Amino acid sequence: MRFPFVRPPAVLVFAAAGLFLLLSAPVRADLVWNPKTGWNIEGGALSGLTGDEGRNALDLMNKARAAEEAGSLRHAAKTYEKVASKYPNSIYSPEALYRAARAFLARKEYFHAFDDFQGVLSRYPNTKRFNEIIGEQYRIASALLDGARNRILWGTIPGFVNRERALGYFEIIIQDAPYSDYAPLALMNIASGHQKFSNDEDAIDALDRMINNYPQSLLTPDAYLRLGQAHAALVDGPYYDQSSTRDAITYFEDFMILYPGDPNVTIAEKGLGDMKTVLAQSKMKMADFYFYKRSNFTAARVFYNEAITAYPDSAVANQAKQRLVEVEAKAAGKPVPAAPTPDGEKKKKRFWLF
């Protein structure tokens, strides 16, 4: 007697498949160092290698650790790197790269250390040491930005100061860990570095990324203030284009509006006053040109009024108001009235000698 085939429900099929995969998947193993027995795999049974390859990899790991314990850090680092290169898919590789990086770091071979730390993150992004490695890379970049000198010629001679490489390292950190606490710090350091090199446009770009990508960061108020100062540094005076002046005004005002209780508000107020003065002076220069050089009273009126609007409570605004009186007199064909004596100022007495 034949029984008809009954298809099992899909839920049961997926459940059975999941159970099979769970039972057949290797248990995650950890590599543990024991001074007496060397490197051991615990918590699992697989190393990713078999036979001679497994024995050779383990032998190299033990030799590297022995050199490390003996203080031969460069030899240890090179041996660890050999393990990572020959056996990249083994359990030994991420540990080998990590220990190589730490050995190079101890020798102040910052470039090699950063590269090996980066090797761990790029090859094994799920490493449990992710946050620790990002922190180490940040410290390396910060040291280089502060003037630390990478050792060259097998780590025996300090090389030249290389702050440019530090900026590149900070960018890598931001790319690898954009949501970490180190990302806004890295951007602020990038801005500082570019300002040291007088790369104002690049500094502005870093600060702009900072306030747009990390608006809730504790560093954002400082970024707004520094953006205002960076734009102000590009201002050449009232005779030139005022786009940077307007940008500086915008960021100083944003800072004061968003962070009214910040202790640096007085600095922003001064910066804002300086920039408004330059902008008003620029309008005055244009107005004077049309008034004195072209006798174009309509254009002169426009620019004198813009000077007043740019910074109403300033000496420049008062001067613009007096110029407007002169413009109206000239336009009407009347004599220009004498400038009024400021309140409280007494006229100087004139003495005649006979």
Q: Which of 153-162, 178-187, 209-218, 311-320 has the lowest mean pLDDT?
A: 153-162
Q: Is the pLDDT of residue 172 over 60?
A: yes
Q: Which CATH code fits 108-216?
A: 1.25.40
Q: Which two tokens stand for residue 27?
A: 């248990």
The answer on pLDDT for 354 being more than 90 is no
pLDDT at 114: 98
- For 1-47, give the secondary structure using H, E and C: CCCCCCCCCHHHHHHHHHHHHHHHCCCCCEEEEECCCEEEEECCCCC
Mean pLDDT of 182-187: 98
Q: What is the mean pLDDT of residues 113-130?
A: 96
pLDDT digits (tens, 9 = 90+) for 185-225: 999 999 999 999 999 999 999 999 999 999 999 999 999 99
Give the residue extent of every domain in the chain: 29-106, 108-216
pLDDT tens by residue, 319-336: 999 999 999 998 888 887
pLDDT at 340 > cutoff 70: no
Average pLDDT of every residue of the chain: 87
What pLDDT is stored for residue 194 in this prediction?
Answer: 96
Res 126: pLDDT: 93
Residue that is written with structure tokens 């608006």 in the block:
215
> pLDDT of 47-75, one tens digit each?
667 677 888 989 999 999 999 999 999 99
- pLDDT of 141-151, one tens digit each? 999 999 999 98
What is the percent of the chain where pLDDT is above 90? 73
The pTM of this model reads: 0.81
The model's pLDDT over 274-304, given as tens digits with 9 standing for 90+, comes to: 999 999 999 999 999 999 999 999 999 999 9
Answer yes or no: is pLDDT of 23 > 50. Answer: no
